[in-house]
A = this chain, B = another copy of it.
Amino acid sequence: MKPLSSLHHLIQALRRLPGVGPKSAQRIAYHMLQHDREGAVQLSSALSEAVATVRHCSRCNTFTESDVCETCRDEERDASLLCVTETPADQMMIEQTLTFKGYYFVLMGNLSPLNGIGPKEICFEKLIARATDGIVKEVILATSFNNEGEATAHYISEMLKARGLYVTRLARGVPVGAELEYVDIGTIARAFLDRRTT
């Protein structure tokens, strides 16, 4: 019993999704064909539409459908502040806090030498060009606080400080609402070192 070619192609294509293995790919394919053909058609056209229209903002590197994204076109923002994030999702989280009114630069990844991702794979040249436009005064590094994110922040920080920019990093410490008993000791140690007068 040979598998059907179109079903086989679908299963192979689904396996390219991150986090989808052979069993899940098969389960998803059967589910879509048996119970949600409308959803399959919808996903098919959404994929080709997104591939055709989504590109990178020429200023901040995030996903956009025009040359410059909506955030970069917003002239009410403080042009002296530039926040560097790893992904558009991180950028959206920061926007939701309503505490930052500057512009962004989205790296679309982080340095990960083990996975072959060096400075060239991430748009560092574009970031330097953007940060040294003469208007930006402070660059706020909002990359993740895991190993790759910290390494990326360190690398960017060194590069931009050498070019005379004021570089800051989001505060590390105990999360809001946390009970000390359940916070990891690394975080508590950091919060001790970075303690502030009240």
Complex Cα–Cα for A147 and B37 (A): 28
State whether A36 touches B16 (Cβ < 8 A).
yes
Distance from A21 Cβ to chain B, minimum over Cβ atoms (Å): 12
Tell me which of A4, A9, A64 has the highest count of chain B C-beta atoms within 10 A of its own C-beta: A4
Is residue A135 within 8 Å, beta carbon to beta carbon, of the partner chain? no
What is the count of identical protomers in the complex?
Answer: 2
Binds B, one of A40-48, A149-157, A170-178, A179-187: A40-48
Taking a contact as CB atoms closer than 8 A, the residue among B1, B9, B95, B109 that contacts A34 in the complex is B109
Contacts A65-B6, A87-B30; A41 near B48 (Cβ below 8 A) = yes
Contacts A6-B65, A7-B63, A10-B50; A42 near B30 (Cβ below 8 A) = no
A-B interface, 9 closest residue pairs, ranked by CB to CB distance from nearest? A16-B39, A44-B47, A13-B46, A13-B43, A10-B50, A44-B48, A10-B46, A9-B46, A6-B50
List 9 extra interface pairs beyond A4-B65, A9-B50, A29-B50, CB under 8 A: A9-B49, A10-B49, A14-B43, A19-B24, A19-B28, A32-B50, A37-B51, A41-B48, A44-B44
Q: Which residues of A contact B (CB under 8 A)?
A: 1-7, 9-10, 12-14, 16-19, 24, 26-34, 36-37, 39-51, 53-54, 63-65, 70-71, 87-89, 91-92, 95, 108-109
